[in-house]
Structure 1
Amino acid sequence: MDTDKTAGNRKGRPNYPADFKRRLAIEACAPGISVSKLAQQNGINANMLFKWRRELRTGLFEPVVPALLPVLVKPAMRRSPSLPPVEPSSMIEIIIGDAVVRLHAGIDAALLQLVLQSLRP
């Protein structure tokens, strides 16, 4: 076995590194592979490998990669001379599908991350 497992939170339950789980789950998805034999060769329970394979298929082993979104900068609208001048605000507007997110100066980064993640498809 070529993995560095660490002790888990309960006796007899090791924690395997994510790359080890991912590698074995990918191998288990290959056509004609015996999941039971692959598990035995790596010293793990076959049920665990079946679970890792399910998790791989549902995308749980995929690395989280932030997506870059296109940005459209609109020119400032001109006001008629009769209206008082408007001071520029420090606001950013993000449109994702049907959702509009307006960000003002001083927004909490953790809150912004939570909002943007909830808007992901």
Structure 2
Amino acid sequence: MESDSSAQRPRRRTHGKAFKAQILQACDQPGASVAGIAIAHGLNPNMVQRWRREARRGELTLPDTPVFIPVVAGPTPAIDAHHSASAPPLAIEVQLQRGALQAWVSWPAQAAHECGAWLRELFR
């Protein structure tokens, strides 16, 4: 009796990028349970955790997903006194959105290093 090995093993499911984006967006909601969302969609929670790690590292690009752009803040160049009197002060503007939470921050450019430290702590 011959046995076909492909008939004995179930086929692996493949999930499209839009589906993965939907699952990851649901996981990012405040109070969301990754395991609960995975099970509700018939997925293994470990697989969803892997998708989350891959997305954070940039290995999994999803539609309508903002791309993380690393910013390196260094010392700001000195601004001469007669130039700063006529020009408005420079500012770093940051707009953040995670689920329903939105924040907009304006930080003085002279304190760019402190802004970088604040952002690192925020995303820790």
| TM-score of the alignment, normalized to the shorter chain, above 0.5 | no
TM-score (norm 1): 0.39
Bigger Rg, structure 1 or 2: 1
* Bigger relative contact order, structure 1 or 2 (CA pairs below 8 A, ≥6 apart): 2
Higher helix share: 2
Q: Give TM-score, length-normalised by structure 2.
A: 0.38
